Amino acid sequence: MEVRKENRNIRDNHRRLLAEKFELKRNLYKALVRDPTLPQEMRELHAYKLAKLPRNSSFTRVRNRCVFTGRPRGVYQLFRMSRLVFRSLASQGLLEGIRKASW
């Protein structure tokens, strides 16, 4: 079970790296495809090039996951951990500056 969680995080990290690597190319091809002033053949060529880029290089494929458990939902972006892990670490006092509210 632990290996599967680790694999999910590795796969997600790989997607993040690919998305960062191909971001400029992808945005360029998208802009050229959308440009109505270009000839149709040129737009089709850039659409083909866009389709040939790796699928995992798209930012929509990136999923925020907890770095501790690999949980995909309820993840705080600032801490990159799930709400469950955040709560347990905060209760133990392991997160500096975080304290359970009481009034």
| Parts of the chain belonging to CATH 1.10.287.1480 | 1-63
Q: What are the tens digits of pLDDT across the range 24-47?
A: 999 999 999 999 999 999 999 999
pLDDT of 98 over the 90 cut? no
Rounded Cα–Cα distance for residues 37 and 98 (Å): 54
Please compute the mean of the pLDDT values over residues 2-26 and round it to a whole number: 87
Cα dihedral 13, 18, 24, 28 in deg (nearest 10)? -130
Q: What are the tens digits of pLDDT across the range 62-84?
A: 999 998 988 999 999 999 999 99
What CATH code would you report for 1-63?
1.10.287.1480
pLDDT of 5 over the 80 cut? no
